[in-house]
Amino acid sequence: MSITSSFTSATLCGSLVSPKALGCSNAFPSNHFSNPFESSKLCLTANPKKSIAPVQGIRCHAMQVETREAFTAGKEFQLSDVIEGQQFDREMLSAIFDVAREMEKIEKSSSQSEILKGYLMATLFYEPSTRTRLSFESAMKRLGGEVLTTENAREFSSAAKGETLEDTIRTVEGYSDIIVMRHFESGAAKKAAATANIPVINAGDGPGEHPTQALLDVYTIQSEIGKLDGISVALVGDLANGRTVRSLAYLLAKFKDVKIYFVSPEIVKMKDDIKDYLTLNGVEWEESSDLMEVASKCDVVYQTRIQRERFGERLDLYEAARGKYIVDKALLGVMQKDAVIMHPLPRLDEITADVDSDPRAAYFRQAKNGLFIRMALLKLLLVGW
């Protein structure tokens, strides 16, 4: 019997691999597989948080499969956690966006949804948040679920007494069905997901990643521009510490003929790991110090604030970086008429208030889209497609 017919839960994936996905070995020769090709891997994505015996003897070759079937109603979601942008491929993104559009209809409806009735979501936020925390809580309630929340968990939880993150997660999972966590340390979300037996969503881990922000950003670009292939995007501001731009770069790399411009003060330039990833995946990128010139060529200007909280006591470095790149009326004058300005918010002075009335200012529409994406993710992680 071929592997194709033996394992109906197998999915074709490149970056779409949970850290806890079942491993592959080299016991079988490639002729046991249907139409193998070398550029991707076959991974089993059954929910690793259920009790599963290890599967032996699977060689990493890809199969040509109808992956769209995996996204039909009633199927389990392919991911057990949402931790980083690298987990998603473009086909899954398209399917998630379809669900998000259904969530838009639910949000506009006057009737109360009961899709997540009986489910409890715990939000653990060790760093400040307005949009992310409130949109997750709103998403859960709009789908009929309930919320357990702690704001500023770094100070007002047992973490202040020295409790480890692992112990906190083991405790909270006993009270809830899903955990949404923001943490000040990069990698904390992976640690939480490795500990928990329920789904964990990374709502931002220090300067690491913010995958749900990237999902809503790409959803917004598609909604505003009408396409994701063949676009030019300027990432502006604090690129060294900004987790949103890191996750967004990972997702933009899934699409064809994308060009990314990095515009930032020297001290907060995009880190080499992102640039290396883009190069490896054939994405054209360029660093520039001239925002005016770049903005005139781009479909999207994605502005970010310089993050004072990441500079520690070196406020001299913060002051040197802030205020260098501003989106104002003068910049609007050189932008294309169908381009958009985006920002993950909050903003300080990096976008002037008089820009808000321009139809190209998409950042508040972008924030609203976060509700639909997070409704979709909660639905998918808890009840599936």
Contact status, residue 251 vs residue 215, Cβ threshold 8 Å: yes
Whether residue 47 is predicted with pLDDT greater than 70 in this model: the reply is no
Band of the pLDDT at 153, cuts 50, 70, 90?
low
Q: What is the mean pLDDT of residues 156-181?
A: 85
Whether residue 170 is predicted with pLDDT greater than 60 in this model: the reply is yes
191 annotated active-site: no
220 annotated active-site: no
In this predicted structure, what is the pLDDT of residue 8?
34
Looking at 182, 190, 243, 374, which residue is catalytic?
A: 182
- Cα separation, 64 vs 148, in Å, equals 43
In this predicted structure, what is the pLDDT of residue 158?
56
The CB-side HSE value for 181 (13 A sphere, CA atoms) comes to 32
Looking at 132, 168, 212, 304, which residue is catalytic?
A: 132
Looking at 41, 131, 141, 275, which residue is catalytic?
A: 131
How far is the CA of 50 from the CAs of 162, 315, 362, in angstroms? 30, 48, 41
Q: Where are the alpha helices (DSSP H) in the chain?
A: 3-6, 90-108, 131-142, 153-156, 165-172, 188-195, 211-225, 243-252, 272-280, 291-295, 315-321, 329-334, 363-383
Phi and psi at 28, nearest 5°, equal -100, 140
Q: What is the mean pLDDT of residues 114-140?
A: 93
Q: What is the mean pLDDT of residues 74-82?
A: 92
Per-residue pLDDT of 353-372, as tens digits, reads 999 999 999 999 999 999 99
Q: Which of 124-133, 149-158, 284-293 has the lowest mean pLDDT?
A: 149-158
Closest CA to 23 of 56, 66, 65: 56
Looking at 133, 191, 210, 374, which residue is catalytic?
A: 210
Whether residue 53 is predicted with pLDDT greater than 90 in this model: the reply is no
Per-residue pLDDT of 249-277, as tens digits, reads 999 999 999 999 999 888 888 999 999 99
Whether residue 18 is predicted with pLDDT greater than 50 in this model: the reply is no
The CB-side HSE value for 221 (13 A sphere, CA atoms) comes to 27
210 annotated active-site: yes
131 annotated active-site: yes
In this predicted structure, what is the pLDDT of residue 287?
96
- Cα separation, 342 vs 363, in Å, equals 5
In this predicted structure, what is the pLDDT of residue 70?
79
In this predicted structure, what is the pLDDT of residue 219?
98
212 annotated active-site: no
